[in-house]
Amino acid sequence: MSNSLATVFVDRIRSVVGHQPEPIGLHVPEIGELEKKYINECLDSTFVSSVGAFIPKLEERMQEITGARHAVAVSNGTVGLQVAMFLAGVEPGDEVVIPTLSFIATANAVSHCGAHVYFVDSETTSMGMSADSLRAALESFTRSGSSLINPATGRRIAAIVPMHTLGHPVDIEAIVAVANEYGVPVVEDAAESLGSFVGSKHTGTFGLTGMISFNGNKIVTTGGGGVILTNDEVLGKRAKHLTTTAKLAHKWEFEHDEIAWNYRMPNLNAALGMAQLDKYPRYLEQKRRLAAKYQAAFEGVEGLSFVAEPAGTTSNYWLCAIRLDEPSLALRDELMSAAHEAGLLVRPMWNLLHQQRMYQAAGRADVSVATDLHASLICIPSTPALAEAV
């Protein structure tokens, strides 16, 4: 039975991506003449580091795309998330609520703030943080003045960090509503969701602060990079100040007014990013068309279903995914092996964060939905150009 399911799995992917000689990667960046042109312009300018014309251009473009009042370019998404949490008030010794089903950076950014993670569950449709699991966790904590304290650790709950999984918007409005009830700020890990909206509002702009990643595997890449998003005037200015060594503007004096970071995105990376952003509307259109093709290809396949965007949202379909109707690590791995043998470089979800050795002692809610999702999801080739393969 599973053997034939593995065959069907491979065949249905092949029906969309065609028969190419090379192994087909999960998400391969498209680097062309425009990238080379902008990078050469950057090289010719000699402004290759943290000052240069491409950086503010990229920030402006990101403000246009997301509608955020401030977009601050940084050297990668992980440090962007760390600063986004810092700006939201996360301090050493605090606790931050995150989903266990996420990439390691979500938890590491908390640790880099000197804070501790508390894991909550996911919900099935978006695969992201469950507002119910969040509410149950916050209800189990105690109030002390204006703070919320985890009685098991005595730590203050300083932020809630939902993540938009594989580009599909989490139920962010419900999460923000719960967070507001308890007076805890929301920091959005929108690393994967450039081009994903809830209604007409871009992901990453619902919380106090947010972050989008431009890692090489994302829909738009700067090589390494990211942006911090916020609508808050003070935090926007502070994000730029803190990520550029807190240097006071002066023609020659090196006066800095606090201990800060050198997290600015280099101009060289921003040049690459601007070429990618010029092409991003096409990438987005292709990714959504590719998703529609996969959805049709897996229609009616017993035991497997295509992961579609949640109702009321528009997903960038960063990574298309197939879900086993019954969670099974054995079957998941069998399907993945068959795909790899056929040259299709599919991959599972990340190992759950509460099972990673650094985070096994952290507090957590019941995470059975995330556990099932981990055992039932397979990400399939999602490079935009695959939309034109067949």
Ligand X SMILES: Cc1ncc(COP(=O)(O)O)c(C=O)c1O
CB of 338 to ligand X, least distance (A): 26
CB of 102 to ligand X, least distance (A): 5
Residue 168 and residue 309 in contact, taking contact as beta carbons nearer than 8 Å: yes
CB of 349 to ligand X, least distance (A): 11
CB nearer to ligand X: pick between 95 and 189: 189
CA distances from 140 to 150, 163, 175 (A): 8, 22, 16
CB of 170 to ligand X, least distance (A): 11
The dihedral sign for the CA sequence 51, 52, 54, 60: positive
Chain contacts with ligand X (rule: CB under 6 A):
76-78, 81, 102-103, 105-106, 163, 189, 191-192, 213, 215, 226
CB nearer to ligand X: pick between 138 and 190: 190
The dihedral sign for the CA sequence 12, 18, 19, 22: negative
Interatomic CA distance for residues 76 and 243, integer angstroms: 11
Residue nearest ligand X, Cβ-based: 77
Interatomic CA distance for residues 117 and 129, integer angstroms: 14
Closest CA to 270 of 57, 32, 84, 37: 57
Residue 116's H or E segment, with its range, is strand 116-120
CB nearer to ligand X: pick between 213 and 376: 213
CB of 248 to ligand X, least distance (A): 29
CB nearer to ligand X: pick between 82 and 150: 82
CB nearer to ligand X: pick between 9 and 318: 318
CB nearer to ligand X: pick between 228 and 284: 228
List of residues 6+ apart from 250 with CB closer than 8 A: none
CB of 86 to ligand X, least distance (A): 15
Closest CA to 176 of 189, 166, 165, 185: 185
